[in-house]
């Protein structure tokens, strides 16, 4: 990119120290494209040798380099009688306020923050070269002592040099703040669009699911009537009819899950203190009534109270306990547990089983809608339940995760921040 600044350096050159080959190539191209003679060295030691052999008119140095960092390199330049008046620009991320103190101690003239804008760097070069003679005339060997963060530092830079350095830091901070404000506005706009899209998607899922209920109820109802009066049908016709009925039930379950998923996104939280142990116990009792043929050992820790939305947490517990019940159905001595444990970061609740488990390499997909880690032939399901659970937990400002080993059960953990 060409600049409006045109420098006439004659036989003079700018020396650069940059250990990154990519950054070095970029810097060299930038300087040469602006008609600035330059020598680019790969480290501070090489750059110091080059400077002492042939004095540059200005030095640009990265700070983090092997062998000799930018601060040490700058300090050595400023300690050489023949080089001390050479302006030095340090390239830095300015991640620590101590960087400024180190720059002052080393005698740096300017900071340029990475990633740097080429036009800004060119303006700094122009400024330092234009003011170098003035600074040299007004320079002194004044030494100041300052205390920063409880430590004493000796600053050898002259007043003009200190002012230039601090102004460059301030200018960089203003520029970075403007970038942050712009990024924040863009992020806010993106978030608003995302929220609107999610709301539209939830409304769409709710509407479609609700509208599917009526025609599906008709299909299931008439199929049930036909199957109940199937005396004159042969076995193939009965099989087809039963297939229609089973498919209708599966679709009805999917619709129910979709409605629950969409409602979980739209629902407002109304927290209250309630006994989640009692809730878990009631849900386990319901499972025993629905599946009387199962012999499952259940362990529900008593007396656990939470401050959360009871209806939404019931959705969570229904899904987690229902999954534990389902995925342990092929285990002879199934065991399902619910409880809590205290950690350094707070209370963690868990639902565990000794059922089929899953491959932890696929665990990141577990809470995505319509994703299942087991085939429909192994276990029935829609793949929506856990994504609904995740939504509810996140609405409570909590987290949910799982640990498992295939064939050795699964442990689901969650927190509630509300």
Does the global pTM surpass 0.85? no
| Residue in 404, 212, 400, 245 with CA at minimum distance from that of residue 319 | 400
Task: Give the CATH H-level superfamily of domain 14-157.
Answer: Response regulator (3.40.50.2300)
| Residue in 272, 295, 347, 288 with CA at minimum distance from that of residue 321 | 288
Provide CATH code, domain 177-266: 1.10.287
What single DSSP character describes residue 295? -
What distance in Å separates the CA atoms of residue 121 and residue 165, rounded to the nearest whole number?
Answer: 14
Q: At what angle do helices 98-106 and 70-79 cross, to 10 degrees?
A: 30
Question: What string of pLDDT tens digits covers the 418 residues of the chain?
Answer: 444 445 566 788 999 999 999 999 999 999 999 889 999 999 999 999 999 999 999 999 999 898 899 999 999 999 999 998 899 998 877 666 677 778 877 888 887 877 777 888 888 888 788 776 555 544 444 555 555 556 655 555 555 556 666 666 666 666 667 777 777 878 887 777 777 766 666 666 666 666 776 777 777 788 888 888 878 888 888 888 888 887 777 777 666 666 666 666 666 778 899 999 999 999 999 899 888 888 899 999 999 999 998 888 988 898 899 889 888 888 888 999 999 999 888 899 999 999 888 877 766 777 766 565 554 455 455 557 788 888 889 888 999 998 888 878 889 999 998 6
The DSSP H or E segment spanning 234 is none
Please state whether 407 falls in left (phi above 0), alpha (psi between -120 and 50) or beta: left
Q: Are strands 14-17 and 58-62 parallel, antiparallel or unpaired?
A: parallel
Where does the chain hold its CATH 3.30.565.10 domain(s)? 268-418
What distance in Å separates the CA atoms of residue 56 and residue 129, rounded to the nearest whole number?
Answer: 11
DSSP assignments along 378-401, one per residue: TS---S-HHHHHHHHHHHTT--EE
Q: Which CATH number fits domain 268-418: 3.30.565.10, 3.40.30.10, 3.40.50.11820, 3.30.43.10?
A: 3.30.565.10
Where does the chain hold its CATH 1.10.287 domain(s)? 177-266
Where does the chain hold its CATH 3.40.50.2300 domain(s)? 14-157
């Amino acid at each position: 990119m060409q600049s409006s600044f045109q420098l006439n350096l004659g036989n003079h050159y700018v020396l650069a120290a940059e250990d990154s080959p990519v950054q070095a190539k970029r810097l060299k191209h930038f300087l040469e494209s602006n008609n600035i003679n330059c020598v680019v060295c790969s480290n501070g030691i090489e750059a110091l040798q080059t400077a002492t052999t042939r004095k540059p008119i200005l030095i640009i140095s990265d700070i983090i380099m092997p062998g000799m960092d930018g601060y040490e390199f700058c300090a050595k330049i400023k300690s050489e009688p023949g080089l001390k008046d050479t302006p030095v620009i340090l390239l830095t991320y300015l991640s620590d306020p101590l960087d400024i103190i180190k720059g002052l101690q080393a005698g740096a003239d300017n900071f340029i923050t990475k990633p740097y804008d080429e036009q800004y760097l060119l303006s700094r070069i122009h400024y330092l070269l234009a003011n170098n003679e003035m600074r040299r005339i007004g320079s002194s060997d004044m030494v100041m002592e300052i205390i920063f963060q409880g430590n004493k530092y000796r600053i050898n830079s002259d007043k003009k040099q200190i002012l230039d350095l601090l102004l460059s830091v301030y200018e960089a901070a203003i520029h970075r703040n403007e970038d942050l404000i712009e990024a924040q506005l863009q992020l806010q706009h993106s978030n608003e669009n995302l929220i609107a899209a999610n709301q539209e998607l939830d409304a769409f899922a709710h509407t479609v699911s609700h509208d599917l209920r009526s025609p599906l109820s008709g299909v299931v109802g008439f199929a049930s009537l036909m199957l109940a009066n199937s005396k004159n049908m042969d076995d193939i016709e009965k099989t087809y009819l039963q297939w229609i009925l089973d498919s209708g039930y599966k679709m009805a379950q999917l619709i129910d899950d979709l409605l629950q998923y969409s409602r979980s996104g739209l629902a407002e939280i109304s927290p209250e203190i309630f006994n989640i142990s009692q809730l878990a116990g009631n849900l386990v009792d319901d499972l025993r009534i629905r599946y009387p043929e199962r012999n499952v050992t259940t362990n529900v820790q008593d007396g656990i109270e939470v401050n959360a939305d009871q209806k939404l947490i019931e959705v969570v517990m229904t899904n987690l306990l229902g999954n534990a019940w389902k995925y342990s159905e092929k285990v002879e001595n199934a065991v399902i547990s619910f409880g809590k444990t205290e950690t350094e970061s707070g209370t963690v609740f868990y639902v565990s089983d000794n059922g089929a488990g899953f491959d932890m390499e696929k665990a990141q997909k577990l809470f995505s809608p319509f994703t299942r880690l087991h085939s429909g032939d192994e276990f029935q399901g829609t793949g929506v339940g856990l994504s609904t659970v995740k939504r509810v937990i996140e609405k409570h400002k909590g987290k949910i995760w799982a640990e498992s080993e295939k064939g050795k059960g699964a442990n689901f953990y969650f927190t509630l921040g509300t």
